[in-house]
Structure 1
Amino acid sequence: MVFRRKKEKKVKEEPARERISKPQPAEFLVAVNELHEFVLSAKGKIRNYDARGKFVIANNGFRDKIWGISVEIESTNIEGLENLIKIDELNPGDKIERNYTITKKKKLPIELELSIDTTPEQEEQGIAVVYGTDQSVKLQVRIRNNSEAKINEIVFRKEFPHANFISTNFSADAGTVNNYSNEIEWNISDLNPNTEAKLLIEGKVRSEDKEKLDLGSANLSFKAGENLAAVKIKSMESLVKNLFYIQKDEREEEPNIWDCKVIIENISEFPIKIMKLVVKESDNGKRVLDIEPDKILNPGEKFESNVWTVKSEKIPTFHKEAHISVVPIKKIAVLGNGTIEKLTLPVTSVQIKKEFVPNTVGSYRITPIDTNIEIINEGATRIKSLIIKDTIPSDFKPPKQEDIEVILGNKKGKEGITIRLEPNDYNPQSEHKLYIEILDIKRSFGTEFSSNKKMKVNYRMQAWKPKEEYSPYSGDIEVTLSTVEIGPRLTVRIPQEKLPKINVKHLRRKLTVGKSVIPGHEKGEYIITLIFRNRGNTVLKNIELIDKLPKDFSFISGNIEPQEETIDDGKILKFKFNEIRPDDEIRIEYMIRGTGEYKPEDAEILYK
């Protein structure tokens, strides 16, 4: 029988239409998503580190199921995920998810360190700031890729409390930097293995807190690929519908000679991969085809092998083996997201107090005055060394070195304290500068000058016949110090308007002392009145009015109770007063009784 081809009708050619693009193949997704969350100190030390992942197999197709799924996983130090995962079938829209944790984490693939210098003009790097002053600082951010794989999409964000930090300049040797109102964002697209990048931020800081300066926290995020994942896909196989057949054509002019070839059509919605084809003759097992095409077929595509020839009177039959699998879309991502603890700097804050006791003296008199100085550490740094520069005004005689006492807490300084006067004399006609220098406070006192501690300096000088027209007298004082936590050298002064003053008054004592004696109602009784009047311009302190009683008389009653003291010829009555101010008058009335005659001329009053 001869089959003839029908004559094709001529079809009228139509105008060309817009080409319709082929639909994209459906997705057979195999995903590994790992998240590394961490907390770092500003120096890069790991405070907390948690790593976990999710393994996902998903049929994202619309009509075809996938079956016979087998995934071999290579992993170490994880929990929650077996090394061989088998799934019978996945219908369109189905997925399998497995969560796992990474139990033994290696060090972070990325290293970060913040380094600040509060003394950029000095050789030594400073870490402390001074309270209430604007000062320049430099902040360096160093990011290093410690892994053997490239790290991508590195984003470093650093916030700055606006009141505490104002950036003035920034530069980076890699990536781009964006400067927002209170945040700097540094983006690095990729960082090669074992390389690092640096960002330098320059600005000014000001601390209104006496203990610490808060420069805000930071955030670091990055992405990496399969090389840094704890879970790796070693091999994977799966099946989907396809059309596999062998075409057998007997030659027209050579009967019993067959030209054969394998044809595979991808009739699914997924791409498939032909990895190996083996065809054997059924009757003798002769291998006629053994190839590894390593060929990917998208939906609708087909594969044809080379032709092989078989000589047979019968229609040849074959045994075939095909290794075909769905081509998965592998998405392996390692995400890192970390917080860098707040960057805080210790603050140096020192207060000085100074007082004179007494703070008022009489003119043209020699009067001792105690000078008391307090240096209070109100900050968080430890004071390492200091120099006190005190001023002793003219008309005041300086103390001797051995009479100057320096105390830290409750410990007196023993060694390493240098005291000197300029000029080096005790002439009260000249102003003097008193220097007290302590280069190693811990060695001198056996303790540190730490937060909230006080150092006291006490000495006695003498007002040397000062004149009222030069009043008030004062003495400047300043303290220059350095701290254990390196920072700017600090000089502290008491403002002129707050310096203690020594007032000089032309004080002269003028007083009136009187006594009256009146007989009482009964024989031997007498009413005594003592009067003391301060007519001067100075306060009289520690006053004792003293009256004598004859031997045969005793104190009966009075408006003020005296202290009595027995003497050979009678008694002494003492009336004591702490102070009597100018223009004040003291009046004491009391009754005595005795035998014999009380002669007023025998009575007397004493002022002590």
Structure 2
Amino acid sequence: MSNIKVIKTIPDEFTNPTVRETTEGRAGVEGDKIVWTIDKLAPEYTVMLKFTCNITVNDITRRSTGAINVSYQAASSFAEGLAIDKFDAYTRNKFFIDTLERDEEPNIWDNKLIFDNSSEFIIQLFNADVYSPEDPSKKFVDIDPNDVPMLPSGAQWHSVKWEYESEDYPTFRKKLEFRVVPDYQYNVNVSVSVSDVILEIASITGEMIYDKVETPTYKAQDVIATLKLGNHGSAPLNDITILHQTFTDEYQPPKAEEIKLIWDGDEVEITADAVNFEMNEFKITLSNLKENSTGMLKPDSTLEFVYPVHCINPVRDSTFDSEITYLVNTFPVSQELEFKPDVPTISAIHIRRKFRIGKEVIPVGTLGHYKIILSLENIGESKLLGINLLDKVPDSFEYSEYSMTPEITDEVGQDTLKWIIEELDVGESLEISYEITGTGEYSPSDAQLAL
């Protein structure tokens, strides 16, 4: 190929076109076009032009990048039907024999026939005989025409070396036959228009949540992390990497088998080699998805990564402040997209429950009539949650007049009164009262039983 000219049209949406590199020829910007010229290009040889443009987009609509027009001169298959019917030719030729006596073996000669095409044409050597002057049947060189390639102008053909023993200078008889091969040249002018490449827009959305952001001190507990990634663009995603850092001895990453990958609502197996942990950084890598059974992550598709963060006996007031980075790319490879979602902080809460519970029995009115007062006080530094307050009524007593209606259970006997206190703030106290009346034979001390 020769006289090559490549013209790339730059659409109006693209600005600041700049030629960065050419491996062959000359290129420059001319108005709204990039023009690249190459004088000559050898067969099976690839050249490259790199250029950049700027574009700012506010939506995910695909963009046209402009057509490419190529013109050049080259060979073409239609010329294969051309042939030369008859021709006459005279040509120059040259051949010689190299004869070299061995350094360490006197009178032993190494010999080689060389045919040199000193003409301007292609020559076919179809016979070359070298034989002894005394015995023409003793041939040192005898060729098969099929083993000798066509020799273009300036080319040489070398025979296989042969050994000859003589005290005198060796002499040989030679017979060479060759013919001029007819050839012709032609030029073909070619013009090609390459349709423009559609620029897909890569865009992602991401979210990260924990199922809880507080963990107790000096206890082992898992906090479940859910990472969501959505393909919000028009280009499918071929490579996806999730980085979660920085882990510590108190806050440790999951193992590969603990990670759940949900792809558009369906759980997908994640291989162990896709998970890596080193230098306090946890990494999940989904690479070359186009070769996987899942295929690439298509537009409007979502991924969810669900895994535990192992909280291992964190000390008081310790925190897990981490950073998560999503890295994605398309196929063919483009500019890598990076997204960092907001990541909540996991805090170690020092919860130590301290409370005072009491029971007071007050005789009221007639014999066997008592008022029971249960008291609960939060004397610690943490809120109390989910307290079950129980009081067993002796079998010989009837109960009534509650200040707070209880649940009647048989947890510790036939009649157990149960109050559920959902929460009690620091320093807060609570009193619950009810009355009982004894019947039959009983001991008033039975009413002193508290749980």
Q: TM-score scaled by structure 2?
A: 0.54
SS at structure 1 position matched to 2:410: strand
In structure 2, the residue matched to 1:409 is 264
Question: 2:299 is matched with which residue?
Answer: 451
State the secondary structure of the residue aligned to 2:346: strand
Contact 2:392 2:412 in 1 (8 A): no
Which residue number in structure 1 is paired with residue 449 of structure 2? 603
Residues 208 and 343, structure 2, Cα contact 8 Å, conserved in 1: yes
* Other-structure match for 2:15: 166
Secondary structure of 2:257's partner? helix
Aligned partners of 1:544 and 1:576 also within 8 Å? yes
Match of 1:399 in 2: 254
**1 or 2, which has the higher strand percentage?**
1
| Correspondence 1:326-345 to 2 at 5 A | 345=199
Across the aligned residues of Structure 1 and Structure 2, the Cα RMSD in angstroms comes to 4.3
Deviations 1:395-437 (A, max 9, x none): 12443332222212321122546354535xxxxxxx7332222
**Matched ranges for 1:208-357 at <5 A:** 208-209=58-59, 211-212=60-61, 345-357=199-211
1:98-123 deviation digits (Å, cap 9, x = unpaired): xxxxxxxxxxxxxxxxx9xxxxxxxx
Letter in 1 for 2:450: E
Q: 1:361 aligns with which of 198, 211, 215?
A: 215
Which amino acid is the alignment partner of residue 212 of structure 1? Answer: T
Q: Is the 8 A contact 2:385 2:424 kept in 1?
A: yes
| One-letter amino acid matched to 1:487 | S
Give deviations 1:291-327, integer Å, cap 9, x for gaps.
xxxxxxxxxxxxxxxxxxxxxxxxxxxxxxxxxxxxx
Aligned to 1:304: none
Between 357-366 and 444-453, report the one with greater CA deviation: 444-453
- Alignment-derived partner of residue 576 in structure 1: 420
**Other-structure match for 1:386:** 240
Aligned to 1:119: none
Aligned to 1:493: 340
Give the 3-state SS of the residue equivalent to 1:434 in structure 2.
strand
Partner amino acid, structure 2, of 1:599: S
**Partner Cα distance (1:450, 1:535) in 2:** 58
Do the aligned partners of residues 601 and 560 (structure 1) sit closer, same or farther apart at CA in structure 2, a change above 3 Å counting? Answer: closer
The code of the aligned residue for 1:556 comes to S
- SS in structure 1 of the partner of residue 314 of structure 2: coil
1-structure distance, mates of 2:392, 2:431:
17
1:145-194 CA-partner distances (Å, limit 9, x unpaired):
xxxxxxxxxxxx9543xxxx4334489x99x955xxxxx599xxxxxxxx
Letter in 2 for 1:576: I
**Corresponding position of 2:408:** 564
1:413–1:444: 8 Å Cα contact kept in structure 2? no
Aligned length: 299
Asked if structure 1 preserves the Cα contact closer than 8 Å seen for 2:219 and 2:312, the reply is: yes
Task: Look up the match of 1:590.
Answer: 434
Contact 2:276 2:284 (C-alpha < 8 Å) held by counterparts: no
Tell me the percent identity.
19
Distance 1:398 1:522 in 2: 68
Give matches, 1:367-382, under 5 Å: 367-382=221-236
Letter paired with 2:383: V
Shift in Å, 1:204:
0.7
Q: Does 1:514 align with 2:358?
A: yes
Quote the residue 2:55 is aligned against: 205
CA 170–587 in structure 1, closer or farther in 2 if over 3 Å, else same: same
- Contact residue 256 and residue 275 of structure 2 kept, 8 A: yes
Given that 1:408 and 1:445 are in contact with CA atoms closer than 8 Å, whether structure 2 keeps it comes out as no
In structure 2, the CA distance between the partners of 1:202 and 1:396, relative to structure 1 (3 Å rule), is: closer
Amino acid at match of 1:204: N
Letter in 2 for 1:207: V
Asked if the contact 2:243/2:284 (under 8 Å) is kept, the reply is yes
Task: Provide the residue aligned with 2:371 in structure 1.
Answer: 527
**Contact 2:407-2:418 at 8 Å conserved across structures:** yes
Alignment of 1:95-106 (within 5 A): none
Write the distance in 2 (CA, Å) between the matches of 1:433 and 1:185.
46
Q: Aligned pair 1:463/2:349, yes or no?
A: no
Contact 2:8 2:33 in 1 (8 A): no
- The TM-score with structure 1 as length reference comes to 0.42
The 1-side partners of 2:65 and 2:276 are apart by: 47
Q: Classify 1:468/1:352 alpha carbon distance in 2 versus 1 (closer, same or farther; 3 Å).
A: farther
- Structure 1 unaligned segments of length 5 or more: list them: 1-114, 116-138, 142-156, 179-183, 187-199, 219-341, 424-430
Residues 536, 373 of structure 1: alpha-carbon distance in 2 compared, 3 angstrom cutoff: farther
CA shift, 1:513, in A, is 1.5
Cα 1:452/1:602, change in 2 over 3 Å: farther
Alignment deviations for residues 224-254 of structure 1 (CA, whole Å, 9 cap, x no partner) = xxxxxxxxxxxxxxxxxxxxxxxxxxxxxxx
Question: Which secondary structure does the structure 2 equivalent of 1:599 belong to?
Answer: helix
Residue aligned with 1:545, SS: strand
Q: Distance in 2 between matches of 1:447 and 1:534?
A: 58
Work out the CA distance in 1 between the residues paired with 2:379 and 2:291: 56
CA distance in 2: counterparts of 1:169 and 1:603, whole angstroms: 91
Q: In the aligned structure 2, how far is the partner of 1:602 from the partner of 1:533?
A: 19
> Do structure 1's residue 541 and structure 2's residue 385 form an aligned pair?
yes
What is aligned with 1:503? 347
